[in-house]
Amino acid sequence: MKIAKVIVDVPASAIDQTFDYEIPERYRHVLTPGMRVIVPFGPRKIMGFVVKITAESSFKKLKPISEVLDLVPVLTEELLDLGKWLAHQTLSLSITALQVMLPQVLKSKYKKEIVRAADGALAHELEDLFAGRDAIPFELFEESTLSYYQLKKAVEAGDLAIEYIVESKITKKFETMIRPKQEIHLLEEAIAELPKTAKKQHAILDYLIENPEEISQKVLLSKFQTSNNTIKTLVEKNLLETYRKEVFRNPYDDDSIIRTKPLELTEEQEQAIEPILKSIEQEEHEVFLVHGVTGSGKTEIYLQAIQEVIHKGKEAIVLVPEISLTPQMVNRFKGRFGKNVAVMHSALSAGEKFDEWRKIQRKEVQVVVGARSAIFSPFENLGIIIIDEEHETSYKQEDQPRYHARDVAIERGKNNHFPVVLGSATPTLESFARADKGVYKLATLNKRTNDKPMPEVITVDMRNELHAGNRTMFSRLLMDKIADCLAKGEQIVLLLNRRGYSTFIMCRDCGHVKECPHCDIALTYHKNNNRLKCHYCSYEEAVPTICPECNSDLIRYFGTGTQRVEEALTQLIPEARVLRMDVDTTRRKGAHEKILNQFAEKKADILLGTQMIAKGLDFENVTLVGVLTADSMLHLPDFRSSEKTFQLLTQVSGRAGRHDLKGEVIVQTYTPEHYSIQLASQYNFSEFYMKEMAMRRAFKYPPYFYLALITITHQNHVKVVQTAQQIVRMLQQKVHQPTVILGPTPSPIPRIKDRYRYQCVIKYKHEPDLRKYIQEINKRFAEEVRKNDLQIIVDMQPYHMM
């Protein structure tokens, strides 16, 4: 077995295949599929993934592998297969599909070092190589005559570890630890012999007699407000010992988490969990849709299902939308499973994410809670995957490979015989339709566990407000209710449904709107630095004082950005303390959490924010939820706009009155008669489902039809139009009834970063060779893509039609 089949890191369709390389003698007992290697490719040396090792090649003269990057595979056999499926499914390159499964640290070129464990014994040769050091650069090993096999053995035995140097400032991986070196009674004797003045030494020994476990030097020093010297003295007296220990960067403070026990399930919960447990037990793949309002106990079901999986010695992945991955949420899992949980959150630094990933790789945890990419966790013995809030669009990746985590979950579940559980208060029509047809198993939770009713929703017709002379963005009813709340010392959540709105600059005289010079979209006004910014490229400029079109100085900003609402609010109710949460106030790491904590500690009366406040928050003192503009996304060019509106309204209503206090929801709208607003205010999912399904059927949209979106971009407008037309023609010759091809039409944003954009949409029911047709298109234009900067973007499951 001396030939490796390698997928190389060249992102070009002409290269999308494996290449054979010879495995040099020194790597032969080491190299396995899933490891990364450096191989010669043309004049360059590039990275590649070993996907297979074979004895023979149909090629005669093979080049040898230059370097082996990993001693432990970074991709499991299962993930290698999954990569193949993923590439096919999303029509992306194999290399892209493999890269997406790895943490950032492994995607870039980082320096490596070999680090020895605290008390690991090493073979002589290795000992010599280290020459007393704790860590050595990897190159040193490579230049030596030592074998990879030897190194691999030491790594496997836990005596050595390969570390990636991420960024020196965050790679603080080792900590000096302290522990008693003598038995307790000897320490006690030592205390007796200490001079009276050695108070600190005395105190430290006392402490260690009481707590004879290891403790970090840093913690100990700060505990006793003393210096290194005190420790040094005690070490010299042979009473304590110090050693270095690898510490995982842990962004969550595990020790402060209160451990919880499984709750006794309600009857509804029992009924929901029973078939899931059965599927775990029998190792049969099944997809479950748990449909239950917020507070109906879905999470408790997840926890107990995972408990069973752990009990069987298996592993669990829990996906939670990025924005709901709050400490509150994480603590529910850590509270139940303690240190057995890894957390994959995009707010973690690259190093932190890598640490969490490695806990999975090293089998130190059985549960991972994370956002979308956690779906690729390298577990080898999965027993369940849970996707909470399955309707969230953030589960769809909008870059190549354009995958949906739900599909990946189901593929892994199918291949490895375990259940996938989807949970939501407002499932997607696609999922609910599948449950309706019996493809998924449906479990419904109708009641909140505390039997509290869902809060009452009152819709306010904003047109009447205008007629009555109220020109503010707050209805009279909402103002009254806010005043009531404030008087009672209760809290308020206000949602500005901003998608589709932004604050832009318009000239009052001529109506000129300032647009980005590179993208066909209005620039967004940022008040804090008085600048205009483009949200699609990095362009920004100062706000003009006179209109560039007509020289008028009547330039005003429009739209209802959160900043403006905040201003208006503080003008109307100066005594209210308002916290604003939107992309601008939460950009910094930890900001999100800080705002929520302030609100929880009642340091503010009103939490005002965009979509991000609608999810997962649970504050006892919130009794009023106001939705300022319920219909702002109803009219977007998106066939899911009714569904998204329904979801958002239902979600945000769930924020009020979750505990002892009764809640109320005020929904302000210009279209109170719209079915998604009416039915959301009645919490009537099934009626909404029927109405919306009828629409989808009439307009040939999912779940009746599948969609594929092809977007063509180029700097030259004519080129884009021509290519798009050619593509549509090619497709039209291939597809069958009842497939419909729409377009080509300009994309909803017709130009981004100076590139023109056209699109066509394929709606189909059954087109088994569609991927082949699209690959033919890709081939037909491959030359122009490579040489002429043409872009053809294919999305086999579009969520944003932009």
Residues in contact with ligand ADP by CB under 6 A are 263-266, 269, 292, 294-300, 449
Contact flag: residue 107 with Zn ion (CB under 5 A): no
SS3 317: strand
Query: Residue-wise over 565-600: b if at least 16 C-beta within 10 A, else e?
Result: bbeebeeebeebebbbbbeebbeeeeebeebbeebb
510 binds Zn ion (CB under 5 A): yes
Instruction: Please answer whether residues 733 and 516 qualify as being in contact, where contact means their C-beta atoms are separated by less than 8 angstroms.
Output: no
547 interacts with, out of ligand ADP, Zn ion, none, CB within 5 to 8 A per kind = Zn ion
Give me 106's structure tokens. 């492994």
| 253 scored as a contact of Zn ion (CB under 5 A) | no
Q: Which of ligand ADP, Zn ion, none interacts with 507 (beta carbon under 5 to 8 A by kind)?
A: Zn ion
The nearer residue to Zn ion, 202 or 518, going by C-beta atoms, is 518
527 makes contact with Zn ion (CB under 5 A) = no
Provide, rounded to whole angstroms, the least separation between the CB of residue 587 and Zn ion.
19
- The reply to whether 507 sits near Zn ion by the rule CB under 5 A is yes
* Cα gap 13→790, rounded to integer Å: 14
Q: Does 207 bind Zn ion (CB under 5 A)?
A: no
Residue 472 or 551: which CB sits closer to Zn ion? Answer: 551
Alpha carbon of 460 to those of 467, 471, 629: distances in Å?
13, 14, 10
Helix ranges (DSSP H) in 622-744: 641-653, 675-681, 685-698, 717-734
CA 148 remoteness from chain centre:
36
Q: Choose the one of Zn ion, ligand ADP, none that binds residue 269, judging by a C-beta under 5 to 8 angstroms depending on kind.
A: ligand ADP
Candidates 672, 590, 664, 574; CA nearest to 622 is 664
Q: How far apart are CA 139 and CA 142, in angstroms?
A: 5
- Partner from Zn ion, ligand ADP, none binding residue 294, C-beta < 5-8 Å depending on class: ligand ADP
CA–CA dist 114, 92 (Å, integer): 35
* Closer CB to ligand ADP, 48 or 616, in the complex: 616
Answer for the pair 295, 450: CB distance below 8 angstroms, yes or no: yes
DSSP codes of every residue in 733-762: HH--TT-EEEEEEEEEEEEETTEEEEEEEE
For Zn ion, the closer of residues 537 and 661 by Cβ is 537
Side chain identity at residue 62, one-letter code: L
Nearer to ligand ADP, 83 or 297 (CB): 297
Residue 363, token pair as written in the block: 């089998």
Question: Residue 33 or residue 748: which is nearer to Zn ion going by CB?
Answer: 748
Residue 506 found at the interface with Zn ion (CB under 5 A): no
DSSP 266: P
Nearer to Zn ion, 33 or 544 (CB): 544
Query: Residue 392 corresponds to which tokens in the numbers above?
Result: 């969230």
Using the minimum distance from each CB to ligand ADP, give the nearer residue, 336 or 592: 336
Identify what 266 binds: Zn ion, ligand ADP, none; CB under 5 to 8 Å per kind: ligand ADP
Question: Nearest-5° angle of CA 195, CA 239, CA 118?
Answer: 150
* Interface residue with Zn ion, options 516, 581, 604, 627 (CB under 5 A): 516
Q: Does 523 bind Zn ion (CB under 5 A)?
A: no
Residue 297 contacts which entry, Zn ion, ligand ADP, none (Cβ below 5-8 A, type-dependent):
ligand ADP
Residue 771's Cα: distance from chain center in Å? 28
Q: In what order do the strands lie in the sheet with 606-609?
A: 456-461, 664-669, 622-627, 491-495, 606-609, 578-581
Among 175, 461, 509, 584, binds Zn ion (CB under 5 A): 509
Binding partner selected for residue 298 from Zn ion, ligand ADP, none, CB under the kind-specific 5 to 8 Å limit: ligand ADP
163 binds, among ligand ADP, Zn ion, none (CB under 5 to 8 A by kind): none
Spatial distance between the Cα atoms of 797 and 92, rounded to a whole number of angstroms: 13
Q: Residue 518: which of ligand ADP, Zn ion, none does it interact with, CB under 5 to 8 A by kind?
A: Zn ion
Per CB under 5 A, which region of 293-301, 482-490, 498-506, 517-525 contacts Zn ion?
517-525
**Residue 150 contacts by C-beta under 8 Å, 6 or more apart in sequence?**
123, 125, 126
* 749 in contact with Zn ion (CB under 5 A): no
Nearer to ligand ADP, 108 or 446 (CB): 446
CA torsion through residues 316, 442, 440, 324, sign? negative
Amino acid at 666: I
Residue 639 near Zn ion by CB under 5 A: no
Say how many Å lie between the first and final Cα of the chain, rounded.
49
Q: What are phi and psi of 355, to 5 degrees?
A: -60, -45
If the CB atoms of residues 122 and 442 are measured against ligand ADP, the closer one turns out to be: 442
Strand locations in 9-43 (E): 18-22, 36-41
Q: Which does 523 bind (CB under 5 to 8 A by kind): Zn ion, ligand ADP, none?
A: none
If the CB atoms of residues 324 and 711 are measured against ligand ADP, the closer one turns out to be 324
DSSP conformational letter for 262: P
Structure tokens at 114: 């070999």
Among 231, 317, 319, 534, binds Zn ion (CB under 5 A): 534
Which residue's CB is nearer to Zn ion, number 26 or number 535?
A: 535
Q: What is the DSSP string of 452-512?
A: PPPPEEEEEEHHHHHHTT--SSS-HHHHHHHHHHHHHT-EEEEE---TT---EEEETTT--
Cross-strand partners of 18: 7
- Report, in Å, the least distance between residue 229 CB and ligand ADP: 50
The residue (of 16 and 509) whose beta carbon lies closer to Zn ion is 509
3-state secondary structure at position 528:
coil
Residue 549 contacts which entry, Zn ion, ligand ADP, none (Cβ below 5-8 A, type-dependent): Zn ion
Supply the minimum distance, in Å, between the C-beta of residue 796 and ligand ADP: 31
Q: Which does 299 bind (CB under 5 to 8 A by kind): ligand ADP, Zn ion, none?
A: ligand ADP
Over the window 541 to 560, marking each residue x when it contacts Zn ion by CB under 5 A and - when it does not, the resulting string is: ------x-xx-x--------
**Nearest approach, Cβ of residue 335 and ligand ADP (Å):** 10
Q: Which of 149, 539, 639, 670 binds Zn ion (CB under 5 A)?
A: 539
**Between residues 517 and 590, which has the closer beta carbon with respect to Zn ion?**
517
The residues facing 242 across adjacent strands are 178
Shortest CB 515 distance to Zn ion, Å: 9
| Contact predicate 302/423, CB 8 Å | yes
| Minimum gap (Å) between residue 658 Cβ and ligand ADP | 8
Among ligand ADP, Zn ion, none, partner that 123 touches (CB below 5 to 8 angstroms by kind): none
CB atoms within 10 A of CB 367: 27
Kindly state whether residue 174 participates in binding Zn ion, applying the rule CB under 5 A: no
CB of 516 to Zn ion, least distance (A): 3
Q: Is the distance from CB of 89 to CB of 796 less than 8 angstroms?
A: yes
Structure tokens at 11: 């992102």
State the number of CA atoms in the 13 A half-sphere of 619 facing the CB: 30
Nearer to Zn ion, 77 or 509 (CB): 509
Q: How far is the CB of 388 from ligand ADP (least distance, A)?
A: 7
Smallest separation, CB 445 to ligand ADP (Å): 7
Binding characters for Zn ion, 457-496, by CB under 5 A (x = yes): ----------------------------------------
CB 611 within 8 A of CB 499: yes
Contacts of 684 (CB under 8 A, 6+ apart): none
292 touches which of ligand ADP, Zn ion, none (CB within 5 to 8 A by kind)? ligand ADP
For ligand ADP, which is the closer residue by CB, 443 or 792?
443
Q: Which does 499 bind (CB under 5 to 8 A by kind): Zn ion, ligand ADP, none?
A: none
Residue 408 touching Zn ion (CB under 5 A): no
What is the DSSP annotation of 206-224? HHHHH--S-EEHHHHHHHH
Q: Which does 509 bind (CB under 5 to 8 A by kind): ligand ADP, Zn ion, none?
A: Zn ion
Question: Residue numbers of the site for Zn ion (CB under 5 A)?
Answer: 507, 509-510, 512, 516, 518-519, 534, 536-537, 539, 547, 549-550, 552
